[in-house]
């Protein structure tokens, strides 16, 4: 019984850590956007390295949480967390449900900000492509054949 309690405590602790890291990640993604808008490539390289590190930590905790859920007999996904919550004592269930929903909200917010960054990249690539390929549009064929 004690090991199950420890696993649940580890899951809760991991969710707390994820909430803090997703708050940080959201700030990092916004900062990434600023760097992209300024076309600060060297700043982006340093920044992206740090951002990737945070993402790796989040992924490692998600993997660990999945394993912990499966060791308790639940699916190793969001459905497993939801089912676990229903099996906990009322007070702990309320606490964990609040934490879980806070985490899910932060994940969605971070994904939305990241999607905006992706759209910015696409827009920048379109502009660059248009500038680089502009010379092709200037070559208008008037039906004349110029001998070489």
Q: What's the CATH number where 11 sits?
A: 1.20.58.300
- The predicted-structure confidence for 31-71, as pLDDT tens digits, reads as follows 999 998 888 889 989 999 999 999 999 999 999 999 999 99
Residue 142 domain flag: no
Distance in angstroms (rounded) separating the CA atoms of residues 83 and 96: 12
Domain that holds residue 68: 2-135
Is the entire prediction scored with pTM above 0.75?
yes
Q: Structure tokens of 72?
A: 């308790």
Chain segment 56-110, per-residue pLDDT in tens: 999 999 999 999 999 999 999 999 999 999 999 999 999 999 999 999 999 999 9
* Distance, CA of 71 to CA of 98 (rounded, Å): 23
How many domains does one find in the chain?
1
| Residue 103 domain-assigned (yes or no) | yes
Task: Tell whether 88 is covered by a domain.
Answer: yes
Residue 148 lies in a domain: no
Written as six digits, the tokens of 70 are 């499966």
Q: What are the φ/ψ torsions at residue 139 (nearest 5 degrees)? A: -75, 85
d(CA 132, CA 122): 15
Q: Is residue 146 part of a domain?
A: no
140: which 2 tokens? 């208008």
Residue 122 within any structural domain of the chain:
yes
Residue 140 lies in a domain: no
């Amino acid at each position: 019984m004690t090991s199950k309690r420890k696993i649940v405590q580890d899951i809760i602790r991991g969710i707390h850590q994820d909430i803090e890291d997703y708050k940080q990640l959201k700030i990092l993604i916004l900062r990434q956007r600023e760097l992209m808008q300024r076309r600060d490539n060297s700043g982006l390289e340093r920044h992206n390295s740090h951002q990737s590190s945070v993402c790796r930590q989040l992924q490692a905790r998600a993997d660990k949480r999945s394993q912990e859920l499966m060791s308790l007999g639940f699916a190793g996904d969001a459905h497993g967390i939801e089912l676990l919550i229903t099996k906990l004592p009322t007070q702990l269930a309320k606490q964990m449900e609040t934490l879980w929903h806070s985490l899910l909200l932060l994940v969605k917010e971070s994904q939305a900000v990241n999607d905006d960054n992706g759209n910015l990249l696409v827009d920048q690539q379109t502009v660059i492509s248009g500038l680089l390929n502009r010379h092709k549009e200037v070559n208008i064929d008037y039906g004349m054949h110029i001998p070489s």
